[in-house]
Amino acid sequence: MTEEYAAARYDEACALLPMRLRAAALAVDRRRKAEAEELRLRVERPLQLTLPEGEEALAGTRVIRSDMEQVLDRATEFSRYAAAETMRHGYITAEGGFRVGICGTALPQAEKNEGLRDVSSLAIRIPRVREGVARPSLPDLVEGGSPLSTLILSPPGGGKTTFLRDLVRLVSRGSRLAPPCRVSLVDERGELAAVHRGRPQLDVGDHTDVMDACPKALAVPMLLRSMNPQVIALDEVALPADVDAVCTAAGCGVALFATIHASSLQDLQGRRVGRALLECGVFRRAVLIRGRGGSRTARVERLP
């Protein structure tokens, strides 16, 4: 990924901002544009850039409540009704694959959130496709011409989603190691394929079917029944029900790719969900990602 491409994606994200905030955001230098991971808006606070080293306030900016409304209008193309379902879950996927996280006052009803009002914070995520990031690891993740079930680990913000997206793309397209595979991608939070109006905004391969905005425990059985996948990919396994879905899919002879928060296999063993994933015996390989930004490294380990 070139600095020019990374900076251009930043500029595209800035198009969601009101004009006065956009001007300040576009005025930063190219290096910070290329490194920025998010634009963060908080009412009565400066506009912030999320950089690898932390958040940086843009001098001379101050977010007001009407700024929030303008960003939401742009992100939903002035049709919040069409985005109501994902807004209930705290995010919107805008054209171009930009995921806007939303925080405010929840409207609970019958133990479910029916929406948000008085929006107080927005986080505009800047996704960048890093083609080839998983390629060096691919020979260790394929055996006998078929992909192996693989668990991808890193701390939050460590690059798991980026690695998984590229791994799905590579396996879907095929290589000298394995022919193209049918991949069913469960994109519960809209971060892997960034589907907007039925079309993935990010490249996940030619033989990939995306189930968007659906909990993993519901999506996996649906995909097994309807799409005949050879591989199922899931982001952020976090709940016992997610583990059950993984085990169900493995019992049907499907390879699994999944990510989970952990800094090491030892750390994973110390977590209830992580320990359950390892104990079910589904995964043959683990990819451990360390570092930040361009200094990230991925190491493959065999699992018993």
Q: What does pTM read for this prediction? A: 0.84
Number of C-beta neighbours around residue 269 at 10 A? 12
Domain borders along the chain are 3-125, 135-302
Q: What is the pLDDT of residue 149?
A: 97
131 half-sphere exposure, CB direction, 13 A CA radius: 8
Distance, CA of 75 to CA of 69 (rounded, Å): 10
Distance (Å, whole) CA 89 – CA 142: 35
CA pair distance 195, 210, nearest whole angstrom = 8
Contact 266, 239 (CB under 8 A): no
CB 37 within 8 A of CB 44: no
Q: Mean pLDDT over residues 6-24, rounded?
A: 97
Question: Which phi and psi angles does 199 have, rounded to 5°?
Answer: -125, 125
Query: Across the chain, what does the average pLDDT equal?
Result: 92
For the residues 100-127, what does the mean pLDDT come to?
A: 81
What is the third-level CATH fold of 3-125? Beta-Lactamase (3.30.450)
Planar angle of CA 75, 76, 81, nearest 5 degrees: 155
Place 109 in a pLDDT band, splitting at 50, 70 and 90: low
Which pairing describes strands 150-154 and 255-261: parallel, antiparallel, or unpaired?
parallel
Taking the CA atoms of 40, 44, 45 and 46 in sequence, report the sign of the dihedral they define: positive
Give the fold, CATH level 3, of 135-302.
Rossmann fold (3.40.50)
Among 268, 298, 57, 286, smallest CA distance to 152 is for 286
User: pLDDT digit string (tens) for 182-240?
Assistant: 999 999 988 899 888 889 999 999 999 999 989 999 999 999 999 999 999 999 999 99
Residue with tokens 């905005």: 213
Write out the E strands in 160-241: 183-187, 195-196, 199-200, 208-212, 231-234
